[in-house]
Amino acid sequence: MTGSKQPILIDSSGWLEYLTAGPKADPYAKHFTSDRTLLVPAIVIYEVTKILLRKHSKTAADAFLSQALRHTVVSFDEQLALSAASFSLQYHLPMADAIVYASAVSRGALLLVSDQHFSKIPGVLLI
């Protein structure tokens, strides 16, 4: 899928940058306000909620959930698990990153990340 209507998927670090006004908040912000479909994998909900609860507050976690759940949630099922296992081996990705990448690929989405280990993987925009 190409063009401006291609869905996007922003990984956990992108959400955290945006929500906590991190150094990369501005480059991510335009993607949160675009007219593209924004996909949110269940594992991103887990990771971001956990970090916000641990480092910030329940209010911050609730604000994230309020925003995230207005978008398209990608559930983790057996097909995604099998794809993630393959991508993990192919690209040497840790489990959560492989699940996030498999979620993007399964929906034809562009994956937006800040992690350098994604730099040579197709379908990824490094921010």
Mean of the pLDDT values across residues 71-89? 98
What is the average pLDDT across 54-61? 96
Half-sphere exposure of 92 (CA within 13 A, CB side): 5
Q: What is the mean pLDDT of residues 77-104?
A: 98
Q: Which domains are assigned to the chain?
A: 8-24+35-126 (3.40.50.1010)
Share of the chain above pLDDT 70, in %: 97
- State how far the Cα of 45 lies from the Cα of 122, in Å rounded to an integer: 24
**Cβ atoms of 114 and 13 closer than 8 Å:** yes
Residue 3 pLDDT greater than 60, yes or no: no
Q: Is residue 31 over pLDDT 90?
A: yes
Q: How many CB atoms lie within 10 A of CB 76?
A: 15
pLDDT at 124: 98
Arithmetic mean of pLDDT, 57-79:
97
Instruction: Reply yes or no on whether the pLDDT at 126 is more than 60.
Output: yes
Q: What average pLDDT does range 8-36 have in this prediction?
A: 95
Q: What is the pLDDT of residue 2?
A: 47
